[in-house]
Amino acid sequence: MRSIRLFDLLMGFSRALDMVSPVLAGHHLRVAFLGQALAERLRLSRTTRKYMLMASMLHDIGAIPLKSDTRDLIFEHNKALHCRAGWAFCKTAGLPRPVCDMVLHHHTEWCSYGNDDHNALPANCIYLADRLDVALRTRNAPDLRHICTSLQAKQREYAPACLAALNSLADDADLVARLSSPQCMQEHLASIFGSVILGPVQLVDLCGLFSQTIDSKSPFTATHSLGVAHTARMLLKLSRMADTDDLTTMFIAGLLHDIGKLAIPHEILEKPAALTPEELSQIQQHAETSLDLLGSIPGFTCVRDWGGRHHERLDGTGYPHGVRGAKLTLPMRIIAVADVFTALTEDRPYRAGMPLAKAMEIIESMAEPCYLDENVVALLADNVVQVNRARIRAQRRAAANFVVMRRLCGESAGAAITTERFRPSSPKIFSIT
């Protein structure tokens, strides 16, 4: 896998977040763009601005597990909840503390800060950018100068320096023109941050963060992606047909294979009764969506093909494209087996995971008609206890961190959160070693 740019990965994830609700379309990109415009006027350091970019592109991830009503993007009711949930996600994934703090405080009023909070000003920039975007989108005839004037009166909410920077932007015709063009905003941000390349650990951490977001959408599949990632990576390692780079790629493909499920409504994902043909078609569409989203990230060709093909079958009866036979490479075949194995053995709210013997009986029966690769199935059977132990450990760590997140989100809205109060079950939840 070639080097992955931070900006490209963040753009891919923001596109996925956009799919949660139509009204979210472009929101994270516009907040990032507006936040950077304010930061430029404030002459914030490049490092601070990089952290702002990460926080801006991910700031509303906490709304997904809470099933918040995102239709108006205002979050006036219990608005602190999705901030705390987003902070817990970022902290669990090992993101830099400034990023975590900015996500936590992207709805915090300026008057609430102490004098020693070094991340207060950039977080307030994101808050102002967020509110500015909402105001621009909810007006029939958006007038940047008029909106800026109305925001100037909210001096308890926004830092004087942020309001001054906003006032200086109000008549910037170039800024207004770029706001109407996603391509122009992307090009501008890429020109600033396009040289930032993610190291392997940073890449896995960010992908791990998003896998948590994917799984958090429904308790029916909570921790599923991490289970698939560990299972698939171990099977590929046991095959002795891969190098270290391939193992990392497989782990990431497992983490993100279900990214398309963010576009599926909760009521379908969690429907207690049998799905209608139309609903089943919507569920199956997630594989196509996963291919599209992962394919939009430069350098993710293998991640796209390996992760997005997890429902294809050797005999061509799978979806989304009915790919068959030799066109399904070994990594594609492995992740297909890993997905079925994890789904059968993991605990879900409505049933306990199957015993290994029963799960393997089902998987082996799927190999006989050439749905799954018989050699991969045999490899799993020969090492099933070892593989299952790794899956269980990974999913238990992930589940424990979800419990922490839910506890934090259940606390009173006025409660302060510090890193000292956060106790994830393991700092290496996304480790691939």
Left, alpha or beta for 113 (phi > 0: left; psi -120 to 50: alpha)? beta
Using alpha carbons, select from 53, 166, 157, 35 the residue that is nearest to residue 108: 157
Q: How far is CA 82 from CA 65, 73, 164, 337, in A?
A: 9, 12, 28, 35
Question: What phi and psi, each to the nearest 5 degrees, are found at residue 316?
Answer: 85, 5
Three-state DSSP at 93 gives coil
Output the tens digit of pLDDT for each of the chain's 433 residues.
678 999 999 999 999 988 887 667 889 999 999 999 999 999 999 999 999 999 999 998 888 876 544 443 333 445 678 888 888 888 878 889 999 999 999 999 999 987 667 889 999 999 999 999 988 887 655 678 888 888 888 889 999 999 999 999 988 888 888 988 999 999 999 999 999 999 999 999 999 989 988 988 887 888 999 999 999 999 999 999 989 999 999 999 999 999 999 999 888 888 878 899 999 999 999 999 999 999 999 999 999 999 999 999 999 999 999 999 999 999 999 999 999 999 999 988 778 899 999 999 999 999 989 999 999 999 999 999 999 999 999 999 888 877 777 676 654 333 444 444 444 444 455 555 4
Q: What is the rounded CA–CA span in Å between residue 150 and residue 128? A: 12
Q: What token pair was written down for 146?
A: 């008029």
**Gap between the Cα atoms of 68 and 211, Å rounded:** 19
Distances (CA, A) of 382 to 163, 247, 363, 371, 386: 64, 20, 13, 19, 9
Reduced to 3 states (helix: H, G, I; strand: E, B; else coil), residue 197 is strand
Helix spans in 199-243 (H) = 200-216, 224-239
User: Identical fold at 6-193 and 200-401?
Assistant: yes
For the chain, the helix, strand and coil percentages under 3-state DSSP, each to the nearest 5: 65, 0, 35
Predicted pLDDT of residue 412: 34
Distance CA 375, CA 329 (A): 13
Q: Rounded CA gap, 210 and 343, in Å?
A: 19
Give the E-state strand segments of 340-420 in sequence order.
none
Confirm if 4 and 300 have CB atoms less than 8 A apart: yes
Measured distance CA(427)–CA(393) in Å, rounded: 14
Task: Say if CB 178 and CB 188 are below 8 A apart.
Answer: yes
3-state secondary structure of 138: helix
The three-point CA angle 411-416-418 to 5° equals 110
Domain ranges of the chain: 6-193, 200-401
Chain centroid, CA 221 distance in Å: 15
Q: In angstroms, rounded to a whole number, what is the distance separating the alpha carbons of residues 276 and 268?
A: 10
Q: What is the per-residue DSSP string for 288-353?
A: HHHHHHHHTSTT-HHHHHHHHTTT--TTS--SSS---GGGS-HHHHHHHHHHHHHHHHS-BTTBPP
Euclidean distance between CA atoms 236 and 306, whole angstroms: 12
Q: Which residue has the tokens 């609700």?
A: 21
Q: Which value, in Å, is the radius of gyration of the alpha carbons in the chain?
A: 22
- The pLDDT of residue 272: 79
- The pLDDT score that the predictor gives to residue 64 is 80
Is-contact 23 73, C-beta < 8 A?
yes
Instruction: Please provide the CATH number assigned to the domain covering 200-401.
Output: 1.10.3210.10
Predicted structure pTM score: 0.89
The Cα–Cα gap between 237 and 254 comes to 14
**Regarding the domain with residue range 6-193, which homologous superfamily does it belong to in the CATH classification?**
Hypothetical protein af1432 (1.10.3210.10)
